């Protein structure tokens, strides 16, 4: 029977995402100066106030306040009327040294024996329904807000836009789990005061979303996805009405409160651990990236149309306590006698191909580099791998890779292992 599935996204100006971006910017500065830094940075933002707290072990010296103000300014909170202003908000720093009890479980005489920074389970998911192997509803939700932000920052159209926004997309699937149409699009965007009455204002915003934003997003997509944009889409644009008060003044923000937006939009599974503000010794982050890397490469290699990978750890222990794979019955791989491989057999082969000790993950994905601020808005998964220039503490520069967990660098090895 056909069914509906929905995912949401939030903009970089959403208060929780403001907090995530501050936490990751501080993490990146520690890693820029000292790649061995151990960081757990939490952020709270509210009306004209930002607080950072957490635990640090590093040789770096980081002034948090300029970083915090720079992030807030870059997002676009730079006017007094927002009541959260990069230049005037109060900043409080409560970062302190990491617990020695925790640190002794992580660091080892031999780096490769580094233990997991915490217990827990982490998940990675991939599906072949989009080019970036992400669930379609989430991919479209992110695209809507990334493009809305680009329009706002260009300042040529929809000049009333403010930084806070949310989106939501509902997809209709047929019986064989193929997307057949976009059922509903929801966009709520913060805006300036209008000179007109509220109804005129809302009609203007709705018209601009339909005639400026959506066509620009649609133009980014392949023909198959463009065909899902029919005249039957139900739109809910600023459904509560006026949305002038927003951002941290409208609602306080905290690091780590948008973990489903950060990952798969409710598809697959989530272990519950947040990402932002945590260095890669915390498997909440590094192992979740590793699991996505595995799932994406398995799907891209043709092992299955959908893949979910779970990795679980005990604190202070290097080897994972368990590796689980499910392909939701979409397995394409077969054994030596032509029989379809079970999910358990796929998991065994995954463990042959991928070293899942924390140290190995960090080395494979380059997770001691300052590459995390880029991930703190519009999703950690499904992004385009790239490079950036980083200035070292001694003034030299180096080139580092970004979104390394999105690379399809294991496809050939997987095909060889699975005979594809």
Residue set of the binding site for Mg(2+) = 16
Selection from 32, 31, 58, 53 nearest residue 42 by Cα? 53
Q: Are 210 and 258 in contact (CB under 8 A)?
A: no
Binding site for K(+): which residues?
A: 42
**Structure letter (DSSP) for residue 223:** H
| Known binding-site residue numbers for ATP | 14, 164-166, 242-243, 251, 257-258, 274, 278
**Burial of residue 374, with CB atoms counted within 10 A of its CB: 0-12 exposed, 13-18 middle, 19 or more buried:** middle
Binding site, by residue number, is 14, 16, 42, 55, 98, 164-166, 242-243, 251, 257-258, 274, 278, 282
Paired tokens of 333: 């791989």
Largest CA distance in the chain: 73
The residue assigned the tokens 């600023």 is 238
Q: How far is CA 277 from CA 19, 212, 417, in A?
A: 9, 35, 36
Name the binding residues for L-methionine: 55, 98, 251, 282
CA angle 184-187-192, nearest 5°? 160
- CA gap 310, 326 in Å, rounded: 9
CA dist., res. 305 & res. 289, Å (int) = 19
Cα(379)–Cα(92) distance, integer angstroms: 27
């Amino acid at each position: 029977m056909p069914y509906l599935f929905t995912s949401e996204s939030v903009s970089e100006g959403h208060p929780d995402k403001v907090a995530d971006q501050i936490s990751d910017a501080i993490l990146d500065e520690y890693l820029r100066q000292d790649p061995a830094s151990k960081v757990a940075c939490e952020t709270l933002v509210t009306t004209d106030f930002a607080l950072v707290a957490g635990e640090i072990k590093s040789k770096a010296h980081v002034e948090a306040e300029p970083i915090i103000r720079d992030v807030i300014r870059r997002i676009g909170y730079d006017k007094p009327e927002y009541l959260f202003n990069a230049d005037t908000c109060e900043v409080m720093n409560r970062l302190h040294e990491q617990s020695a009890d925790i640190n002794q479980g992580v660091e080892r005489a031999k780096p490769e024996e580094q233990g997991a920074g915490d217990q827990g389970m982490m998940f990675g998911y991939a599906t072949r329904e989009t080019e970036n192997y992400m669930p379609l509803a989430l991919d479209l939700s992110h695209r809507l807000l990334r493009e809305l932000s680009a329009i706002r920052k260009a300042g040529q159209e929809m000049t009333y836009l403010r930084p806070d926004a949310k989106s939501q997309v509902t997809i209709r699937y047929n019986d064989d789990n193929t997307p057949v149409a976009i059922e509903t699009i929801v966009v709520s965007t913060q805006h300036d005061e209008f000179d007109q009455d509220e109804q005129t204002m809302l009609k203007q915003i709705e018209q601009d979303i339909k005639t400026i934003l959506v066509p620009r997003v649609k133009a980014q997509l392949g023909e198959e996805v463009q065909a899902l944009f029919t005249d039957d889409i139900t739109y809910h644009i600023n459904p509560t009405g006026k949305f002038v008060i927003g951002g941290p003044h409208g609602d306080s923000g905290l690091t780590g409160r948008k973990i489903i937006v950060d990952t798969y939009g409710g598809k697959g599974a989530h272990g519950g651990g947040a990402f932002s503000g945590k260095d890669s010794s915390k498997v909440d982050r590094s192992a979740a990236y590793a699991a996505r890397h595995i799932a994406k490469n398995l799907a891209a290699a043709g092992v299955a149309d959908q893949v979910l990978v779970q990795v679980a750890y005990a604190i202070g222990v290097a080897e994972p306590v368990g590796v689980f794979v499910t392909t939701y019955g979409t397995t394409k791989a077969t054994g030596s006698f032509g029989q379809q491989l079970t999910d358990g057999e796929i998991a065994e082969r995954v463990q042959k191909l991928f070293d899942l000790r924390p140290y190995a993950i960090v080395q494979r994905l380059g997770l001691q580099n300052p590459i995390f601020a880029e991930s703190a808005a519009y999703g950690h998964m499904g992004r385009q791998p790239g490079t950036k220039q980083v200035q070292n503490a001694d003034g030299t520069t180096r080139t580092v890779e970004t979104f390394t967990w999105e690379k399809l660098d294991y496809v050939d090895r997987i095909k060889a292992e699975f005979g594809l």
